[in-house]
């Protein structure tokens, strides 16, 4: 066994300290929000809550779970995230797979055309006018169709497909396998790491998305959880709005904000452990090969 030098030990200590600092930067804000959501309003008004709750109570969570507005937004966002993730993975796969065939006519032109869309877009107003012309305003499809595929994610998947030996595909073609059979039998089973990674990217992007709902959605029943949270954070600081939401003090309003943030963050955090073992392999294998 190789014995580490003093310099290596110093670098190990420095690396551990850096990792600890980065982890603390990520975890401390979450602990602060959790503490605020579980603290009594008196302590919140006096700004005495930091990492541990004071005057433990669950009033904010009770309010959130009893309000149909929050529950409806939560389940709508969950449904939207699942549907968008499935459709996005399907479209990304169907776009990436044909581009690995060298005999595809116009492959270079298609690659250039797709890549250009990563750097140039029409802008907010033209996109809004397009959605209006397509009669998608206040239509649930407006939260699905425009962002159904990411070019960046498609390039990652295409690069991953490049890394699969062509001999597997050629042997399947000799046996008479069709285009979709090759994709289903050979490529998809070997692409679990990149599929899991892109599924996480798409799911997190849709779960945290609110700008499209903010611009295109007018009916409150189709508000996503993040848009509802955005509206509350913008408005609930006013005592009048807090009173309308069933509160009588800014402390309770702050507790509600913290509870809703936790309510909207914890579900997506629970997904990551199931995909963690695929995450690093999917990113490294898919991003460095071309």
Q: Is 87 exposed, middle or buried (0-12, 13-18, 19+ CB in 10 A)?
A: middle
Q: What is the chain's pLDDT, residue by residue, as a tens digit (290 residues)?
A: 556 677 777 888 888 899 899 888 888 888 888 888 888 777 777 777 788 888 787 777 887 777 788 888 888 999 999 999 999 999 999 999 998 888 888 888 888 888 888 888 777 888 888 888 988 888 889 888 888 888 888 988 888 888 888 888 888 888 888 888 888 888 888 888 888 888 888 988 888 888 888 888 888 888 888 888 777 777 665 544 444 444 445 556 677 778 878 877 888 777 777 766 666 655 555 444 44
Q: Chain centroid to CA 206: how far?
A: 5
- What pTM value is reported for the model? 0.78
Tokens of 53: 């709750």
Hey, what domains does the chain have and what are their CATH numbers? Answer: 59-287 (1.10.3720.10)
Residue 223 tokens, joined:
């508000």
> Tokens standing for 86?
């499935």
d(CA 230, CA 260): 10
Helix extents (H) in 4-67: 6-37, 41-45, 59-66
Supply 217's token pair: 């959605």
Which secondary structure element, helix H or strand E, spans residue 283, and what is its range? helix 250-287
């Amino acid at each position: 066994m190789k014995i580490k030098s003093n310099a290596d030990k110093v670098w190990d200590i420095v690396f551990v300290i850096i990792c600890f600092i980065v982890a603390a930067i990520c975890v401390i804000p979450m602990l602060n929000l959790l503490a605020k959501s579980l603290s009594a309003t008196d302590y919140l008004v006096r700004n005495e809550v930091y990492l541990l709750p004071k005057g433990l109570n669950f009033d904010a969570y009770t309010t959130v779970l009893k309000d149909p507005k929050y529950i409806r937004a939560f389940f709508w966002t969950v449904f939207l995230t699942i549907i968008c993730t499935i459709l996005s993975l399907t479209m990304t796969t169907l776009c990436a797979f044909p581009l690995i065939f060298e005999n595809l006519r116009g492959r270079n032109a298609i690659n250039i055309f797709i890549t250009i869309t990563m750097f140039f877009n029409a802008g907010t107003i033209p996109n809004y006018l397009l959605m209006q012309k397509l009669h998608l305003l206040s239509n649930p499809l407006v939260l699905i169709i425009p962002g159904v595929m990411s070019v960046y994610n498609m390039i990652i998947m295409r690069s991953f497909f490049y890394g699969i030996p062509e001999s597997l595909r050629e042997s399947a073609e000799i046996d008479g396998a069709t285009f979709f059979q090759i994709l289903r039998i050979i490529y998809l089973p070997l692409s679990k790491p990149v599929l899991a990674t892109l599924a996480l990217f798409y799911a997190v992007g849709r779960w945290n998305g609110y700008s499209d709902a903010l611009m295109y959605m007018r009916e409150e029943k189709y508000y996503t959880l993040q848009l509802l949270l955005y509206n509350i954070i913008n408005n609930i600081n006013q005592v009048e709005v807090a009173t309308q939401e069933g509160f009588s003090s800014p402390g309770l309003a702050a507790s509600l904000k913290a509870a809703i943030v936790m309510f909207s963050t914890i579900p997506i955090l629970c997904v990551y452990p199931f995909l963690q073992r695929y995450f690093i392999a999917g990113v490294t294998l898919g991003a460095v090969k071309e």
